[in-house]
């Protein structure tokens, strides 16, 4: 059974980032949360994984599993 990859859409230094939780170091940076969210959802759907969406304060806003 393959492990589920979890992606986090989270606030970053100057905008938003999409980070893979699996330790692969996969990171993408975006100025807008909406753009980061679209990319994070796309990654989670493609890998049949999960996306965890954070608020600006770092708390969890929502989670989606595919």
Determine the structural domain holding residue 21 and report its residue range: 6-65
In a domain, 22, yes or no: yes
Q: Which of 38, 35, 7, 36 is nearest to 20 (CA)?
A: 7
CA distance 33 to 48: 22
What is the reported pLDDT for 1? 66
In a domain, 27, yes or no: yes
Beta-strand runs (E) in the chain: 6-12, 15-20, 27-30, 50-54, 60-65
In a domain, 1, yes or no: no
What is the reported pLDDT for 64? 97
Q: Rounded to two decimals, what is the model's pTM?
A: 0.89
- Give the count of domains, the chain: 1
Give every residue of the chain whose pLDDT is below 70, as ranges. 1, 25-26
Q: Which of 63, 50, 57 is nearest to 7 (CA)?
A: 50
What is the reported pLDDT for 52? 98
In a domain, 44, yes or no: yes
Give CA torsion, residues 33, 36, 41, 44, to 10 deg.
Answer: -130
What is the reported pLDDT for 2? 73
């Amino acid at each position: 059974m393959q492990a589920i990859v979890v992606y986090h859409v989270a606030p970053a230094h100057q905008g938003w980032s999409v980070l893979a939780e699996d330790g692969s170091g996969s990171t993408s940076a975006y100025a807008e949360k909406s753009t980061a969210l679209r990319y994070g959802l796309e990654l989670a759907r493609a890998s049949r994984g999960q996306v965890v969406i954070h608020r600006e304060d770092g708390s969890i806003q929502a989670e989606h599993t595919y």
